Structure 1
């Protein structure tokens, strides 16, 4: 069983139906420059899987154990579930070496950052989602384009 399938099995345990190939690694966007500097200097900022499911979007913290390959969502953390029907707008823009993903829903706005796929093999998203021992394949890069396209379709 591949590492992405293990993450999907972990998400299925939440009672949802994940869509294969529609999950990426994200972090919450820093609200200001000071927070960006702190995030850069510290490797303790958690990573999340943003997973599109049949009827909802899931944000679940990954159990990375530092920079180890993630195969499960973190225990004793409550994933965020956003029903598609409550999503008003999804905006995605390139921001340096990342994508900024802004999701507006009935409950408020969420700003996330996803690393671009081209350098993912040498960045944390690739290390966390590596599918082989050499780090040349990762499911974040494989899923990024499709996931971003599907997210855009959620805008009303």
Structure 2
């Protein structure tokens, strides 16, 4: 599993400058309950690293090993195009809605308290025992940073 330093190194290779302690594991939010059930049963929905950078919010595909998939181009959302950010709790997750000039990007992040039992903790594990992960370490601060981006 990838330590945060390896993730940041991979992102730098993609041409962005990540801010410290500003990356979490996310997936695109399911549009309805049927999609939520299908994802739960099939477990095929891809996960991404959401990284706040100096000029962009980056969504880079992440593998089950926790490494950024460098062969796939990440989505770079210029911070200047973000009009508002809404974060709300939904069950065991947070829903994150980025309102942009040309539409919304709706994401879901798993809450940190159970992350050691969930995918976000598995791909972001920092120690041998699996009790520390960068997703849970960064979640609160990253959510606050995201909300402040929309409050320009």
Give the TM-score taking structure 2 as reference length: 0.95
Gaps of 5+ in 2: none
Q: How far did 1:63 drift?
A: 1.9
- Cα separation, 2, equivalents of 1:63 and 1:20: 21
Give the 3-state SS of the residue equivalent to 1:133 in structure 2. Answer: coil
Task: Mark the runs of 5 or more structure 1 residues left unpaired by the alignment.
Answer: none
**In the alignment, what sits opposite 1:93?**
88
Deviation at 1:76, TM superposition (A): 2.8
The two structures have a TM-score, normalised by structure 1, of: 0.93
Task: Tell me which stretches of 4 or more aligned residues in structure 1 moved more than 2 Å.
Answer: none
Aligned to 2:138: 143
**Count of aligned positions:** 150
Q: Which residue of 1 aligns with 2:17?
A: 17
Alignment map for 1:7-156 (pairs within 5 Å)? 7-64=7-64, 69-70=65-66, 72-155=67-150, 156=152
CA RMSD of aligned residues (A): 1.1
- SS of 2:145's equivalent in the other structure is helix
Say whether the 8 Å CA contact 2:10–2:70 is kept in structure 1: no
In 2, distance between residues paired with 1:90 and 1:59? 15
| Superposition deviation, residue 73 in structure 1 | 1.3
